[in-house]
Amino acid sequence: MGLNVVNLVGRAGAEPEIRIFDSGKTLCKLPLAVNRPTRNRNSPPDWFNLEMWGNTAKIAGDYVHKGSLIGIQGSLKIETWTDRNTGENRSRPVIKVDRLELLGSKRDNESGAGEF
């Protein structure tokens, strides 16, 4: 039995990057900044790369902006590729989002601000 579930709450680190394919499928990529619960308020956030598909991607494109507070549930996947310049194998973790929650108030979303 395996379990691969990721739950995160944080702020969008950029405007969503939307891509619509010829097949009609929609992809949204978005960085998410999540603050660690520490005593040091000045510690840097942890950054996660999010990937959303379909209606979830469309909703993110319409309603999420840089600084928006969101909650996500998804699964961790590791993207791998070969670097064109060096020929080395590369990888990076990506969260494949299954569920997106728009958090915060309308005022938070309008200001587009928020500390990471």
Q: What's the pLDDT tens digit per position in 18-71?
A: 999 999 999 999 999 999 887 777 888 999 999 999 999 999 999 999 999 999
User: Is 23 within the bounds of a domain?
Assistant: yes
Residue 16 domain boundaries = 6-35+45-111
CB 62 within 8 A of CB 26: no
**Structural domain includes residue 56:** yes
30-60: b (≥16 Cβ within 10 Å) or e: bbbbeeeeeeeeeeeeeebebbbeeebbebb
What would the pLDDT profile of 81-104 be if each residue is shown by its tens digit?
A: 999 999 899 999 999 999 999 997
Does 1 fall in a domain?
Answer: no
The three-state secondary structure class of 2 is coil
Task: Count the domains in the chain.
Answer: 1
CATH number assigned to the domain comprising residue 82: 2.40.50.140
In-domain check, residue 66: yes
Are 51 and 95 in contact by the 8 Å Cβ rule? The answer is yes
101 belongs to a structural domain? yes
